[in-house]
């Protein structure tokens, strides 16, 4: 059986992976980006064990196609998520590293 710490790490990782694959390709423009950020945050925050989530999209990568919007790319994401299982917390992140959208564990800690 997994420890609370291991489960908090798993929950953070699975939520970042699902978020990435669910939202990539979504039509977005600089004028709709804040609405999309909020929608992603609110959607993911409904899931079990999510303590906090912050989503930011890089508007500088949003170049319009002939229809006036761009598609959300993984490199546009900066996401910070904190999951909590029992007293164990995991802070994980999705952000651009060079030309790659990297997911990583930032820290794990105990909360009372």
17-69 confidence digits (pLDDT tens): 999 999 999 999 999 999 999 999 999 999 999 999 999 999 999 999 999 99
Within-domain flag for 41: yes
Within-domain flag for 112: no
Where in the sequence is the domain holding 90, given as residue range(s)?
Answer: 4-107
CATH code of the domain containing 23:
3.30.1300.20
pLDDT at 112: 75
Within-domain flag for 14: yes
Work out how many domains the chain is built from and give that number.
1
How far apart CA 92 and CA 112 sit, in angstroms, is 20
């Amino acid at each position: 059986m997994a420890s609370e710490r291991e489960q908090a790490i798993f929950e953070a990782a699975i939520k970042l992976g699902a978020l990435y694959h669910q939202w990539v390709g979504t039509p977005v423009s600089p004028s709709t980006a804040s609405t999309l950020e909020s929608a992603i945050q609110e959607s993911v925050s409904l899931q079990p064990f999510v303590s906090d989530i912050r989503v930011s999209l890089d508007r500088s990568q949003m170049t319009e196609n002939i229809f006036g919007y761009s598609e959300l790319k993984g490199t546009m994401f900066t996401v910070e998520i904190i999951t909590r299982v029992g007293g164990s917390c995991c802070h994980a992140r999705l952000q651009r590293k060079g030309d790659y959208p990297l997911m990583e564990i930032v820290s794990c800690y105990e909360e009372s």
